[in-house]
Amino acid sequence: DVKVTQSSRYLVKRTGEKVFLECVQDMDHENMFWYRQDPGLGLRLIYFSYDVKMKEKGDIPEGYSVSREKKERFSLILESASTNQTSMYLCASRLNRGGRGNYGYTFGSGTRLTVV
């Protein structure tokens, strides 16, 4: 089974800090995604990456950046954390080789970030 591992389950950071959220997948998936999940708003896409060193903005990229130096690792960076970035952050990956049944998303277990 594909495994998507997020480095922290819970994080507490101070306003203005630079925050790194790490995600690693172990099945050679090309595509990786960062979502945030908030009550009543569902999952919203922050950034995604088609392949190494490639990135695309999602629906809510403001205040975030990403890095993908290796295929298996996709990092989300909060340049200067703010209280409105308190949320559950979810990383996902998927295969991108076409064909039915080959493009389901696999999610990590999430990082609950609190900015104080």
Interacting residues toward other proteins by CB under 8 A: 4, 31, 33, 40-43, 45, 48, 50, 56, 58-59, 90, 92, 100-101, 103-110, 112
Query: For residues 17 and 51, which CB has a smaller minimum distance to other proteins in the complex?
Result: 51
User: At CA 20, angle to CA 109 and CA 87, rounded to 5?
Assistant: 50
The distance of closest approach from Cβ of residue 50 to other proteins in the complex, given in angstroms and rounded to an integer, is 7
Distances from the Cα of 32 to the Cα of 28, 56, 66, 82, 114, angstroms: 10, 10, 11, 24, 23
The distance of closest approach from Cβ of residue 16 to other proteins in the complex, given in angstroms and rounded to an integer, is 27
The answer to whether the beta carbons of residues 69 and 51 sit under 8 Å apart is no
Query: For residues 18 and 53, which CB has a smaller minimum distance to other proteins in the complex?
Result: 53
The distance of closest approach from Cβ of residue 23 to other proteins in the complex, given in angstroms and rounded to an integer, is 11
The distance of closest approach from Cβ of residue 69 to other proteins in the complex, given in angstroms and rounded to an integer, is 20
- The DSSP letter of residue 111 is E
Query: For residues 17 and 26, which CB has a smaller minimum distance to other proteins in the complex?
Result: 26
Instruction: State how far the Cα of 73 lies from the Cα of 93, in Å rounded to an integer.
Output: 10
